[in-house]
Amino acid sequence: MTLIAAFKAFEVPIIFGDILISQTGDVKPHIKLPTLPDSTVEDLMPSEWMRTVTHLRRKVCIINKHFAVAWAGNLLGAKYVIKKMRSEFHDGLIDRKNLNQFFNNLETLGTETNCIVIGWIIEKSNMYSFKWESQSKYLMFSSDPYFSGSGKNDFFTKHVEHIKTIQNQRFKSKIGYAVREAIMIACEMIGSELLFGDNLLELYGGGFEFVYLEKGKFRQLNDIVFLFWTVTNFDSNTISFSLDPLILEYRYSNDYLLINSLRQSASYKSGNLSLNSEFYVIPPVYFEREEINFNLTRTNSSHPKYYANFFFLEISDKYHIRSSLVIDGKNDLMQLVRKNGVFEQIKLTEKFAPLIHEYFRSVVQNNIYNKDL
């Protein structure tokens, strides 16, 4: 199933989506997920459910520089629609009239291949969100957010009130604020999946990504490192935390999402982390999986664009804090060390702990708690 969302943050259109695809019927082994060990997926989605995680696919698609979408529903139906869109609108010309005509001329999908498409179009200087359902063939335009998929209600509960607050706020550096906001949402959702796996009970997750509008063009953000921390002690004077045994690197190549999932082993070598790496190639719906040159798994970049840090602090049996902090790649707090293009370790400077302590003081003072229900 799915979670997709089309919304604005600080006046910037954003399209957000997960990468998980499952199917009902014959029980098969689940495919591996970047976020969780195999045994955890089996525990969360037992065979009695008769539902198997079968694919990882990008659901967020840039059709052209003025037009981006996300899809939910049947994989084959979505593949047909998105490929037709890419063929029809490859030249960058898009408005409400020709999008409506496109959907009216589209062949009717069978009940087994129904899908939903949401997204944003840029028509002259105006921005319009839309939602189309293949079953009803109904097309809606708005400037309001659209959400769809099995994770819709979960996303609505956790994030929509905040999104409504920030969607039209104006800042001089609104792109930077919007991108950070989208990263934080992705970071919190990945962190919650890692800790609790509760989103998998709603049949969405595996990873999250987004595209955003900058200077009149939809873009995908390349090179993010997700780090997950457990705060073991916190009071007004001190803070202690440890890095959880998972680090995720996100990059893109030719419309493929590349996820490097690094799990820390129990051993250390020469003071450095010993890491086991699993590389995931996530194609968009309009591509079949292709072999990727191994060199694409490596990068010469000495630092990512952003570090997305997820922190978990248990307050009591009923209350805990889940919070995310995004740090620019070029900073004096933390550094990612690569050797021959491969991740080797994270180095923290002496400034990192005081900054996290001050950050948590602010979080606690503002009573930003997440309650286990």
CA distance 263 to 325: 21
Q: Using CA atoms in the order 279, 283, 287, 290, what is the torsion angle rounded to 10 degrees?
A: 0
pLDDT in single tens digits along all 373 residues of the chain: 799 999 998 889 999 999 999 887 766 778 889 998 766 777 777 777 777 888 899 999 999 999 999 999 999 999 999 999 999 998 878 999 999 999 999 988 887 889 999 999 999 889 999 999 999 899 999 988 999 999 998 888 888 777 777 777 766 678 988 999 999 999 999 999 988 888 888 889 999 999 999 999 999 998 999 999 999 888 888 899 888 888 999 999 889 999 999 887 544 344 445 567 888 999 999 986 655 554 555 555 667 889 999 999 887 766 788 889 999 988 889 887 777 666 777 888 999 999 999 988 888 777 554 433 2
Enter the tokens of residue 327. 């740090």
CA distance 101 to 84: 13
CA distance 212 to 15: 7
Contact predicate 18/205, CB 8 Å:
yes
What phi, psi does 154 have (nearest 5°)?
A: -65, -45
pLDDT of 300: 56
CA distance 253 to 34: 18
Contact predicate 199/149, CB 8 Å:
no
Question: Across the beta sheet with 319-328, what order do the strands follow?
Answer: 272-282, 256-269, 239-253, 224-234, 306-314, 319-328, 370-371
Cα–Cα nearest to 203, from 57, 22, 15, 16? 22
Contact predicate 207/55, CB 8 Å:
no
Cα R_g (the chain), whole angstroms: 21
Helix ranges (DSSP H) in the chain: 38-44, 75-88, 96-105, 152-155, 161-166, 174-195, 198-201, 352-365
pLDDT of 95: 95
CA distance 195 to 117: 30
Domain spans in the chain, listed from the N-terminal domain onward: 4-217, 222-371
pLDDT of 6: 96
Contact predicate 82/69, CB 8 Å:
yes
H or E stretch including 167?
Answer: none
pLDDT of 147: 93
pLDDT of 40: 73
pLDDT of 270: 40
Q: Where are the beta strands (DSSP E) in 19-165?
A: 20-24, 51-56, 60-64, 67-73, 115-123, 126-133, 138-142, 146-148
pLDDT of 58: 96
pLDDT of 172: 66
What phi, psi does 119 have (nearest 5°)?
A: 170, -165
Coil vs helix vs strand at 36: coil
Q: Which CATH class is domain 4-217?
A: alpha beta
